[in-house]
Amino acid sequence: MVANEMSAEVSSVYVMNAGDLLELAATEGLRQEAIGQTRLRVGEGIVGLVAATGHVLNLPDAQFHPGFAYRPETDEEPYASMLAVPVRRAGRTLGVLTVQSRAPRKFEADEVEVLETVAMLLAEMLAAGGASDAAEEGVMSTAQRRFAGSMLVPGIAIGEAVLRGAWHAPHATLADDPEAELARFQAAAESTQRSIDTLISERLPEGDAPREILEAYRLVAADAGMSRRVMEAVRQGLSAEAAIHQVGGELRDRMRRIVDPYLRERLADLEDLSNRLLAALAGPKADAAVPPGAILIARRLGPAELLDWHARGISGIVVEEGSPGGHAAILARALGLPTISGARGALDTANDGDAVVLDADEGLVVIRPEHEVRTAYLAAVQLQTERRAGLAMLRDKPSVTRDGVPLRLMLNVGLALELAQLDLTGAEGIGLFRTEIAMLARGAVVDVPEQVEVYSRVLDAAAGREVVFRTLDLGGDKLLPGGPPAEEENPAMGWRSLRIGLDRPALLRRQLRALLLAADGRELSVMFPMVATVAEFRAAKSLLLAEARRVTRPPERLHVGTMLEVPALMYDLPALVCAVDFISIGTNDLMQFLFAADRGTPALAGRYDVISPPVLKLLETLLSHASPAGVPVAVCGEAASRPVEAMVLAALGITTLSMPASSLLSVKGFLATVELAAVRAVLAQARAAANVAASLREPVTMWAREHGLSV
Ligand code: PEP
Ligand code: MG
């Protein structure tokens, strides 16, 4: 009716699901099979843009709008014009209503008004239907719900939901006897400390212990600051529970305002600790049994708690908040537990014991999956098991593409715990050793002898394979002795990384000395992060050379390279390639600075693509200078770990790819099936098209599928 009234061929309703995805819920004119299939993130495509901004878009030629996202399953090519209005109620966007017509035209003002009125009525219907409010109103649903997040650890798991409940308010707020209450708190604090010690000594993952993380946690647990604040609150008359609740609540509020992911994680440790204290106050109680293979759903998760749950037999994790560099994520990776984060709404929607399918590869969790979904995933798990066994066999095979191009596949590593992966994956070395991770896990600047110990362990484990040590890449508000941390509007672009190193050279020099001492005459590769100008690189390099002159056994060969993360370096390539021994592209930061798109903002995830004309052009320009100068170029950002991106990078000529251990064998297996020459032809054709798309992913993946490659 709507389409008819508006003289349009198409009218569609997209409804925001609890995972913040806009799902095609009804359509006249688009393919019916796309209903429930087509999903857009907020900010993605015209529909996502309307949801994000809350503004109407009235476009005579929608396909030329920069935000247009083509979805082949909807069959929407023939429609030129599009009018999209938000469906909003009580300040919340519930969905988007669209009409599309074949003829390019701008819809009249009164037509826009009609559609807005329809959207208003639709909002009431959606709210009355309870689709978006069921969880808030406590309605127990049995319907399948999907939530999207981002993958922290890949893999698929199927199991029953166990919920790590949200913060529960204490029963008694006030205490009659503060002294007795203080004693209760102190007893609880001591038993918590003991339980953490036991956890550390008994429940570590097998192999090399993740000492750094656990010792950091121990430091947090022993931190007098939190105890002091709780005790102050108890002295003012609060019960121990209420005091912990209050101090914890303050921390949570602070946590929300903190941008830096590492600091956020440190506070997540503190929240974990608050929960432990509350549990200790509640007295001994048998841990509720967890069904084998359960999937844990939590708001946030600290490292100690993660070890607890792992020991109780969970098979996967869904967190609503958590960053890939966080302690819990690092441990989950080390334990091989499929994990996604950012699945907002999952905790409120799931009930204990609900069936859950976790597809971390796709960043997806399905709660109460429909029968067919569950069956399909059971088959996928079976395949995954077979695939893992198959991948392990790839370990000792040479890394080479189908058309014979050799590849150097290396590991990104941050903790000693991960060194075992060198042999498990058959990697050619470590292409990125993030030195700051171990230090952050410690929570303090580590002195030279201790650094030497860490770095020499890494070199020993590498046993002659190359290790590229990246110097400290810390944020602007950490590790600064004395004085309050600087307030920064944009910490990612602030006083961080090499900038701190050059402004506080003592810190950087100590690290460089530790690296040289650890090498103890062995070959050494050092790389500087966040280099913005060639002068910065030269300054950093001269600090390294000065330290190298001081040690008694300088390395037999010293390679000094730069990360390419700041686009400005691209405009001084002739000087850069003369100054450096190698270049490693940090696609995570490079993409965020190139497209001015914060790497941590979920609404922007997937909006800009590495496989796109500007990035390909950038890489080609870089290679056109680096190759003649004999400067090797590698990629160590996350892009290298995704098979399709890895294929495109290799096709351009970047064959040294450094990635997390969990991706290495699948990238290796995939590239072994690829002819790079053919990929180059597909790219050339896609780039020559008259209206070249913002992303070239579609033609590349289509080609790969047509040729039987498993993308
Ligand atoms: C990058 O920016 O791509 C990179 C590898 O560094 P990090 O992810 O540690 O910032
Ligand atoms: Mg970076």
Q: Residues 164-213: pLDDT tens digits?
A: 864 444 556 777 788 888 888 888 888 877 777 776 666 555 444 455 56
Question: Interior CA angle at 621 toward 619 and 623, to 5°?
Answer: 70
Q: Which two tokens stand for residue 533?
A: 């100008």
**In this structure, are residues 498 and 471 in contact, taking their beta carbons and an 8 Å threshold?**
yes
The number of residues making up the chain comes to 711
Q: How far is the CA of 500 from the centre of ligand 1 (A)?
A: 17
Q: With beta carbons less than 8 A apart as the criterion, state whether 146 and 365 touch.
A: yes
Q: Return the SS3 of 541.
A: helix
Token pair of 177 as six digits:
């006897």
pLDDT at 564: 98
Measured from the alpha carbon of residue 658, the closest ligand is: 1
Cα(218)–Cα(222) distance, integer angstroms = 6
Contacts of 124 (CB under 8 A, 6+ apart): 89
* Protein residue closest via CA to atom 3 of ligand 1: 586
Write out pLDDT tens, residues 253-292.
665 555 555 555 556 666 677 777 887 787 654 456 788 8
CA nearest neighbour of 331 among 427, 442, 212: 212
Mean pLDDT of 112-118: 86
Best mutation site among 498, 583, 588, 592 for ligand 1 pocket (most ligand atoms within 8 Å of CB)? 588
DSSP code at position 74: G
Listed ranges 170-184, 427-441, 507-521; the one with the highest mean pLDDT = 507-521
**Cα separation of the two ends of the chain:** 40
Whole-number pLDDT of residue 177: 83
| Ligand 1 midpoint to CA 593 (Å) | 12
Distance 473 CA to ligand 1 centre (A): 9
Residue 416 pLDDT class (50, 70, 90 cuts): confident
pLDDT tens-digit map of 443-492: 567 889 999 999 999 999 999 999 999 999 887 444 444 434 567 788 88
DSSP-derived letter for residue 27 is E
Name the DSSP class of 417.
Answer: G
- How far apart CA 581 and CA 555 sit, in angstroms, is 15
Indicate which atom in ligand 1 lies nearest the CA of residue 412: 5
Of all protein residues, the one whose alpha carbon is nearest to atom 6 of ligand 1 is 586
Q: Which of 7, 1, 4, 10 is nearest to 99 (CA)?
A: 10
Which residue, by CA, sits nearest to atom 9 of ligand 1?
434
The contacts of residue 20 (CB under 8 Å, 6+ apart) are 41, 42, 148, 344, 345, 602
Contacts of 143 (CB under 8 A, 6+ apart): 368
Between the alpha carbon of residue 149 and those of residues 84, 248, 711, the distances in Å are 26, 26, 20
Do residues 624 and 567 lie in contact, with contact meaning Cβ atoms separated by under 8 Å? no
Distance 644 CA to ligand 1 centre (A): 19
CB 620 within 8 A of CB 652: yes
Q: What is the pLDDT of residues 580-596, one digit of tens each?
A: 999 999 999 999 999 99
SS3 assignment, position 561: strand
d(CA 661, CA 410): 8
Distance 640 CA to ligand 1 centre (A): 11
User: Which positions ≥6 away from 676 have C-beta within 8 Å?
Assistant: 401, 403, 405, 647, 650, 651
Question: Using a 6 Å CB cutoff, which residues line ligand 1?
Answer: 432, 434, 473, 565, 586-589, 636-637
698 contact partners, CB below 8 Å, separation of at least 6: 70, 72
Q: What is the mean pLDDT of the chain?
A: 85
132 pLDDT above the threshold of 60: no
Reply yes or no on whether the pLDDT at 630 is more than 70.
yes
Cβ partners under 8 Å of residue 417, min gap 6: 205, 207, 208, 209, 210, 334
Which residue's CA is minimally distant from atom 1 of ligand 1? 586
Q: Which numbered atom of ligand 1 lies nearest the CA of 587?
A: 3
| Phi, psi for residue 137 in degrees, rounded to 5 | -85, 5
Structure tokens at 623: 């290679």
Q: Is 577 helix (H, G, I), strand (E, B) or coil?
A: helix
Q: Which atom of ligand 1 is nearest to the CA of 639?
A: 3
Per the CB < 8 A criterion, the answer to whether 636 and 431 are in contact is: yes
| H or E element in which residue 591 lies | helix 587-594
Q: Which residues are catalytic?
A: 327, 636
Sign of CA dihedral 364, 366, 370, 376: positive
Which residues are in the CB-under-5-Å shell of ion ligand 2? 565, 586, 589
